Amino acid sequence: MTGVVELERQLRERVSAGEKLLAPFVTAGYPDLATTAAILRAIDDLGLGCIEIGIPFSDPVADGPTIQASYTEALERGLTVESLLRELGGLAGELKTPRVAMVSYSIAYRRGVDRFVSALADAGFVGLLLPDLPEGCEPRAAELAESAGLANVLLVAPTTDPHRREQIAAAATGFVYYVSVAGITGERDRLPAEMPGNVLALRRAGRGKPVFVGFGIGRPEQVAEVTAVADGAIVGSAVVRRIAGCIERGLDPSATSDNVRQFVQSLCSGLRQAGDSADAAAKK
């Protein structure tokens, strides 16, 4: 079964069963590929919805200072797309958690989008997210992704025109990524009041397609707040900040991966809070 079908099938089944899902973000090659591999192994049994893996780019779009710094360090240490695909490809038969690549369209374009998406699929990815995809290129990108068996995850921002939001929700495969706040990634003290209504509208437009919310989420209580309405929460900067703290302490890949696992487990407690709240509401 192709990734484009399998990712959405898995997520829909779990959402239909009442599950709330977490999708942590990890920068590939930060601080090195051995650590990335150790982290992916360490969190693989936590029942995550998927893992979003950022492919470093010299001019990232919408990424806040924490993720930008991780990209810069990974590239300065000599990370290449070829080396990360080779390393992560070696884990393809070992890991069971779906992996979605977040990558600049520039990287895909330079290598040939068709060849690049095929390389992602060969490396075990089941989804693709191009945050800077030029408007009007979505149909062709979706066609190429689907031909390689990849789900084509699309972003919707709070500032996106309502009609355009509906088009994106209908066209996305795998899940719809709703950006909770306008601006760059990073942890926030509070999430926007309009988020619940926008998430519900996207789910209707996507005909029940799972909706994950990202940007500004970094604590278990925020995960609970988001997944009280959305199907999943994406946590990026907070996870990368945790890795940065391990680097500062000089921890090795094994200790770093254990530390990240503990943090991701704490975020998963927010999913249980959301589930308990939903159960309580259903009994009223």
**Annotated active-site positions, please?**
52, 63
> Rounded to the nearest 5°, which phi and psi values hold at 129?
-130, 120
The whole-angstrom separation of Cα 272 and Cα 252 is 31
